[in-house]
Structure 1
Amino acid sequence: MSDPKIEASKPAKPSKRFRILLGVSLALNLLVVGAVVGAIAKGGSSNRGPSGMRDAALPYVGAFERDDKRAMQQQMRARLPKRKDIRAALDKGYREFVEVVRAEPFDAAKAAKIMEEQFERAGQFQKVGREVSIERISEMSVEKRAAYADRLEYRLDNPRKHGKRKER
């Protein structure tokens, strides 16, 4: 039999449930830190556009008919770098950023440059999206443009309902 004094001195192994909760807590903390860093980074330069750029684009995109959205997505894919190339560039930037953060002394200018390059890539995606959207609207007949304007106006007037409304 084991000695109760020895057993009492060993720290108890955390339960599986506790370890899962700890992992979830860590993940949530990292999400919050990421959101804060993202918010700070977005607010640093006036040429990046207002915060919530995605929110600004949603009504415009959402008002397009499903077929238009699919065609626009194909046009964007043709104009933008391949997804794997974008992901590789992002990953490279993140790794470089980690190295800069760990370096002593910390080089704030280099860190800012890495972030700026990543946000410029995102800005390119947004720019192409705006171009494709305007091209698509320019190609519409007067009737289709009026229907698009009606859908957009509906989304603006009913912001909570736009996700539940069926596409025309």
Structure 2
Amino acid sequence: MAEVGTKKRWMPIVLGLSLAVNLAVIAAVSGAALRHKNYDKGRQHVDKGGAIYMRALPHETRREIFGKLRENKRNIGINPAEMLDILKHVPFDVDAATRVLNAQNDAGLQRVQAVTGAWLTEITEMSVKERDAYAGRLQELLEQREERRKEKAASRK
């Protein structure tokens, strides 16, 4: 009876971690598939979420920002080998796995904050005229996004 109670305590944690890893793999594969999908030549790819703000920036500005971020990327990395070691260890160390997952979440948040800060710096340094042009490009991208949503909805009917 004691074994059954012990299994029930850690089993939801293991299942939760398994689900998190599976979702991460699905997200990575889906992201790669969408990134390399052949879009219609006449259409421009429109990013979702906050990425659309970066997409509306001039190409050279985006290159500059992402170049700077690549330089800092090494300092905000994750080590998948660490999780691999934890997964292979018997007995499974839930606390160690949780620490690695939390570190990965923190690293992701740091990357988002770095991009957000770089974007805000660019916008702050723009003149009124440049910001107006940027707003126009952003408006075009938003309209393209809405048009694409309507087309998808119509094709499903």
State the TM-score bracket (shorter-chain normalisation). 0.5 to 0.7
Correspondence 1:72 to 2:88: no
What is the Cα-based RMSD across aligned positions, in Å? 3.1
Change (3 A) 1:65 1:159: same
- 1:57 Cα deviation after fit: 2.3
Partner of 1:133 in structure 2? 119
Gaps of 5+ in 1: 1-32, 41-53, 163-168
Counterpart of 2:138 (choices 139, 146, 152) is: 152
- With over 3 angstroms needed to count, the CA separation of the structure-2 counterparts of 1:144 and 1:97, relative to structure 1, is same
Cα deviation, residue 119, structure 1? 2.4
TM-score of the pair, normalised by structure 1: 0.55
Aligned residue among 52, 58, 65 for 2:51: 58
Provide structure 2 residue ranges, at least 5 long, that are not aligned to the other structure.
Answer: 1-18, 27-46, 149-157
Runs (4+) of structure 1 exceeding 4 A deviation are none
User: Larger radius of gyration, structure 1 or 2?
Assistant: 1
Shift of 1:142: 0.6
Q: How far apart, CA to CA, are the structure 2 residues paired with 1:147 and 1:108?
A: 51
For 1:110 and 1:75, the matched residues in 2 are separated by: 32
The separation in 1 between residues aligned to 2:25 and 2:140, in whole angstroms, is: 30
Corresponding position of 1:113: 99
Identity over aligned pairs, percent: 23
